[in-house]
A = this chain, B = another copy of it.
Amino acid sequence: MTKEDSNRILLAHGGGGRLMEQLIRQTILPRLGDQGGQLKDSADLELDSSRICFTTDSYVVKPLFFSGGDIGKLAVCGTINDLAVAGSKPIAIALSLIIETGFEIALLEKILDSAAQAARQNGVKIVTGDTKTVEAGAADGLYINTAGVGIRCYDTKLGFDKIADGDKIIISGTIGDHGMTIMSQREGIKFETPLVSDCGSLWPLTDQLLTNCRGIKFMRDPTRGGLAATLNEIAEAANLSIDINEADIPVNPTVQAAADMLGFDVLNIANEGKVVIVVSPDKAQQCLSVCKKHQMGKDASIIGEVHRAEQALVEMKTRIGGARIVQMPYGTELPRIC
């Protein structure tokens, strides 16, 4: 092995032998390991409840490093967010790597540090993992899968079936930041005010919300497909219509400029640190003020409401007074955003 080789991932790092053990012991364990320094094939957990929430997501974001985060932070926060918006407290994460031969170990270390930091900041442990290697060209650098286990420790029951006529829709902040950051970076476009992904953990905010607010019916993080996809999913599943006001939807002006320039509808753009909340009308203001007190929800806004209608549609009152149907995006716009 030449010196150059020793700085890079080899196929042999996934072989289950001495070299994989070294990678795990020297590179992965010091960063992700549990307090005991262990990261076994499986982890035994003693939870405070037998009512758990279980989720998984693979991450194929391109580029691996972006303004506001990287694939490591994204993978951990994304899985935390899936648990959080389902009304759970995130407890444990399993992290699995598919690494291409030739990938720089220094980059892997940065990514693992960033995953570990995101987990630590949320009181979540990375308890088990897996490492696979593939030939050069067979994984575009690195893919990460994170699976997560949380416990359902709140009284509030969430679900599409809880949503009723008159419920208000809240978004926890500006939309489109993650997707437009990734796309602008990929296209090599720079703005005076730099774009920054909103990639971050929603759990501290959802914890505040579920602890201090009654009346929350449903939460969802509008990732791929953006706000448009999430609202359409809600309308369809609840069989109710949703009316939103464009003027009430917070959008960072640079994000809007980037979307206009690249020809995207900001409603369709992925977010990685935002939550859509459906809440009963009498609790909407309280819920909004809980959001606004929190860093992750400081730009929160009530953007519309749910109502009975013949067809379950999402309709938007535009800034200039018109109205348009917000459709479920078809799906072609933004590859490899998360």
A331 & B20 in contact (Cβ 8 Å cutoff): yes
* Chain B residue contacts of A19, Cβ below 8 A: 330-332
A83, A331, A333 — which one has the most chain B CB atoms within 10 A of its CB?
A331
Complex CA distance for A143 and B137, rounded to whole angstroms:
14
* Chain B residue contacts of A48, Cβ below 8 A: 50
* Chain B residue contacts of A28, Cβ below 8 A: none
A192 at the interface (CB under 8 A from B): no
A94 & B53 in contact (Cβ 8 Å cutoff): no
Which of A65-73, A167-175, A223-231 participates in binding chain B?
A223-231
Complex CA distance for A58 and B283, rounded to whole angstroms:
43
Which of A145-153, A198-206, A240-248, A313-321 participates in binding chain B?
A145-153
* Chain B residue contacts of A92, Cβ below 8 A: 54
Complex CA distance for A128 and B57, rounded to whole angstroms:
10
Which of A36-44, A103-111, A182-190, A301-309 participates in binding chain B?
A36-44
In the assembled complex, how far is the CB of residue A122 from the closest CB belonging to chain B, in whole angstroms? 16
In the assembled complex, how far is the CB of residue A155 from the closest CB belonging to chain B, in whole angstroms? 14
Given A53-B42, A56-B147, A135-B335, the answer on whether A16 and B270 have CB atoms closer than 8 Å is yes
A42 & B58 in contact (Cβ 8 Å cutoff): no
Q: Which of B58, B328, B329 contacts A97, CB < 8 Å?
A: B58
20 inter-chain pairs at a CB distance below 8 angstroms, sorted by A residue, are A12-B330, A15-B225, A15-B329, A19-B330, A44-B52, A45-B54, A46-B50, A46-B51, A49-B50, A54-B147, A54-B149, A55-B94, A55-B128, A56-B94, A58-B130, A60-B138, A134-B335, A134-B336, A138-B139, A139-B143
